[in-house]
Amino acid sequence: MNVQVVSTIQPLKKSFVIVALIFLFIGFAIECGGPNLPFFQGFLPTTEEMIEKAYKGIDATVEDDAERLEARTQARKEITESKPPGYSLEADGLYLWIVFFSILISLIGMLITKTTVHRVGMIVSLINSIIIIFMSIFLIVTAILKLIIMIGLLFALPVGPVIYMVIYKPFPKDMVLLLGGLGLLCKIVAAVLLWIGGSHMVRIKSATLLLVTGFVTFFIIVFGLGLAGIFASIADAIIGIIIAVIVIIWSIYMLIGSIRGLFSKAAR
């Protein structure tokens, strides 16, 4: 093959990887930042609407005036301090970050071959893995606490189920699936770009498994929320925990790889 042609193909391969990185970052931003957008929040009832609905449910359920007043106070407190969780998207966003970061480190290795740069890349990867592990653990803990609250409300008769239905039943399942679907689209586009570009990432078993697992996490969200019905908020927390555990496993794998890379470079 002509040398000039080879020199043209190599930058082209790198450009495919760069565009794939951009799509992965967009997917990460959609899944982690999307639920906080006013557009997303617009699909949820306002605090006052939830309180009014809770009061109606309490008035229809509780006859004693003192108990009704206490139940109203509890409902207002729960509604003011709580909101429907979105742990599955947040956990999947963390997973997208792992995919993005691993390909970014690979791209740096393609562009710069200096040993010092590789060592710095391993250190940054190690720090990133530790941060993601702690973020995933925090997500798991908060999801478990939220699960305890939701399940506790369901069994706190007669007022608890009313409060649960008001706060957690209006879970924006369609919007979560839409944002997750956009994240999946970014994953697919990135995988296709890496394959078209002939990146060595798609020839590494662990990297291929990393990409495939990213598709699996979305289908876990789809099937979990699809089967949950009025318990979508509970399912969302459980799915978030499952995906966060997957994130921790991959982060530990990358952490070990970074440590091995540092020691191998030091040995040389």
For 101-127, the pLDDT digits (tens) are 887 777 776 666 666 666 777 788 888
- Structural domain tally of the chain? 1
Name the average pLDDT for the chain. Answer: 77
Q: 3-class SS at 55?
A: helix
Find the mean pLDDT for residues 204-230.
Answer: 80
Does 68 map to a domain? Answer: no
pLDDT of residue 245: 95
Q: Give the number of other CB atoms < 10 A from CB of residue 197.
A: 20
Given a cut of 80, whether residue 138 has pLDDT beyond it is yes
Does 50 map to a domain? Answer: no
Does 56 map to a domain? Answer: no
pLDDT of residue 5: 30
Question: CB within 8 A of 165, min separation 6: which ones?
Answer: 57, 230
Find the helix packing angle between 87-111 and 115-155, rounded to 10°: 170
Does 241 map to a domain? Answer: yes
Q: pLDDT confidence of 2, banded at 50, 70, 90?
A: very low
Q: pLDDT confidence of 7, banded at 50, 70, 90?
A: very low
Does 203 map to a domain? Answer: yes
CA 246 to chain centre: 11
Does 140 map to a domain? Answer: yes
pLDDT of residue 6: 32
Q: Give the number of other CB atoms < 10 A from CB of residue 219.
A: 11
What are the CA-CA distances from residue 127 to residues 26, 120, 130, 149 (Å)?
A: 22, 11, 5, 33
Q: pLDDT confidence of 207, banded at 50, 70, 90?
A: low
Does 77 map to a domain? Answer: no
Does 57 map to a domain? Answer: no
Host domain of residue 137:
3-44+83-267
Higher confidence at residue 64 or residue 133?
A: 133
- Tens-digit pLDDT profile for residues 222-264: 888 888 788 888 899 999 999 999 999 999 988 888 888 777 6
